[in-house]
Amino acid sequence: MEFQTVHLFVFDTLSDWEPAFAVAGINNPAFQARPQRYRVRTVGLTTDRVRTMGGVTVLPDMGLDDLEPSRSAMLILPGGMTWDEGGNTEAVEMARNFLATGVPVAAICGATAGLARAGLLDGLQHTSNTPEYLKATNYEGAAYYLDQAAVTDGDLITAGGAAPLEFAREIFRRLDVYETATLDAWYGLFKTGDPAYFHALVEASTGGGS
């Protein structure tokens, strides 16, 4: 089976924890509805190494100039201080191209502010860290803001920085990574730590919960 590629944008100050659940779930075939359907590749502004907020060095698999929406299943934009400094505009324009061609974009925390500044949230339901955080960008989409951990509207997924689990859940749902019962058990396990959800996860993934 040929992999479909999910692209993770990486940059200096990237908030390590925000895309972690999503990336691990996509790359790990365990419990997946169609194992090895997807792979994650990192994409930077260039192929120069970057350093995350947690001090991890990442060497991007490719540069942004080589990314084509038609060859991607999704673009994931993590948060990080660079967004609040007005940076990553090239990634914002790539997100615009993705959305214009019907390829989903998932943005969390500071990345939502980057999209807001570019007007990409003006007509879509969305969320972020707080309404005030986005209002500071002077965007015109405040009427579409939802006070939820994560929101999906068409091809756009948004989440606040304190909601990496919910962010991952929306990504998994959009990409159809897990069956519904498996996804519910996965979320319950990591949200609550209740071992009953692990048993439910195993049961669902082996067909016992269908």
| Residues with catalytic roles | 109
Q: Report yes or no: 124 and 101 within 8 Å, Cβ to Cβ.
A: no
| Residue ranges of E strands in 49-147 | 50-51, 57-58, 62-63, 74-77, 105-108
Between CA 36 and CA 47, with CA 41 as vertex, the angle to 5 degrees is 160
Q: In terms of Cα–Cα distance, which of 140, 141, 90 is closest to 111?
A: 90
Q: What are the angstrom distances between the C-alpha of 108 and each of 15, 18, 152, 165?
A: 10, 7, 12, 11
Distance of CA 147 to the CA centre of its chain: 18
State which H helix or E strand residue 81 sits in: helix 81-84
> Could you say which DSSP state residue 11 is in?
-
Residue with tokens 């990486």: 10
Q: In terms of Cα–Cα distance, which of 62, 45, 57, 47 is closest to 6?
A: 62
